[in-house]
Amino acid sequence: MTDAQLAREMALLEASLAALQSSVSTMASETRAAARAADDAKADCARLDDARRKVSAATLGVCRLSADVTPPRSRPAPLSDAALDEFAAALRLSEACWRDDFLGAETATHVRREILALDATRSFAAGRVAGGRAGSGTRFVEPAVRADRCAFVRPETPALRRLVEACDGVAAALASRGVACVPKDDLRHRGNPQLAIYEAGSEGYARHIDNSNANGRRLTAIYYANHVRGGGDASGESVEGGQLRLDDRDVLEPMLDRLVLFPAAVTPHEVLPVVAGRRVAVTIWYCDYDEHLAAQSAAAPDGDESVSLAS
């Protein structure tokens, strides 16, 4: 091979090498750009998912409790450490627990008045039963099974707001004690409170479990606002009947200022028939966030917590 031929071959090799290096550089740039695009897409997905959860929570009435939830500092804690320890011990054994004189008779009486006033202005709907032959996402009215009228509402009136704050404080204290019914997110989510009224002569609520179909509920908190057996309130009304029967063992009167807690997924309970008066109760469910949203998204749009009443 002559020197001229060798020079041409070398020039061709150098040109090929330069083209290859250029291709490698271009591919590296494209790879970096693709990686950045993938990171941006992941960030966008995370933002969209966060937005979806917030919208779903707002629509379905589920709120996130801050990590430092406590009762208002201007008021004493509704339960002592000893009482909270007793609650935690019972819940670890999947047993119900209750406490009387939770907020005081005056606050309890105001809770009752606010609920009755809300019913007068918005007319609570007949309580619905989930599932049945129509499917787990369907809710229907069946007075022979459930005879209350109820509504899920934001706790905006003073006494209801005080009640929910106090219950949130109890839930936070129980979460810090690591009770067995605490979900993976440590009782930091709940739905809006359910206000329920049973009229005199109603059949109550047949034996059931609050979370028998993976609806997200972990802890049930029920608060009663009734004078029982002739006690009377400011209007002279008292309630007879309507006791809460728990797991075929305990029968509790729905008496004024009584708070009852039990694990939602393992505690059979029922409301006995109401003989006289209007039985008023507030129920708050502390729940697993994702399971609860999934269950409510699959439910009928006019049932339970599907109303747009986020707290």
Mean pLDDT of the chain: 78
Higher-confidence residue: 190 or 68?
190
CA–CA separation, 11 and 8 (whole Å): 5
Asked whether the predicted pLDDT for residue 52 surpasses 70, the reply is no
Task: Give residue 35's pLDDT.
Answer: 86
Instruction: Specify the DSSP element, H or E, that contains 141.
Output: strand 139-141
What does the pLDDT average to over 115-139? 69
Which residues have a Cβ under 8 Å from the Cβ of 137 and sit 6 or more positions away? 298, 299, 300
What does the pLDDT average to over 239-256? 92
Write phi, then psi, for 309 (nearest 5 degrees).
-140, 50
Task: Give residue 181's pLDDT.
Answer: 65
Among 304, 308, 311, smallest CA distance to 151 is for 304
How many residues are there in the chain? 311
Which residues have a Cβ under 8 Å from the Cβ of 79 and sit 6 or more positions away? 87, 99, 102, 170, 173
CA–CA separation, 249 and 240 (whole Å): 20
Q: Please, what sign has the CA dihedral across residues 215, 219, 220, 221?
A: negative
First-last CA distance in the chain: 88
What does the pLDDT average to over 289-310? 54
**How many CA atoms does the CB half-sphere of 309 hold within 13 Å?**
17
Among 112, 103, 100, 78, smallest CA distance to 255 is for 100
Task: Give residue 109's pLDDT.
Answer: 94
**pLDDT above 90 coverage of the chain, percent:** 39
H helix count then E strand count, the chain: 5, 17
For 238, the token pair is 């008292």
Task: Give residue 16's pLDDT.
Answer: 82
For 24, the token pair is 């490698």
Asked whether the predicted pLDDT for residue 262 surpasses 70, the reply is yes
CA–CA separation, 276 and 265 (whole Å): 31
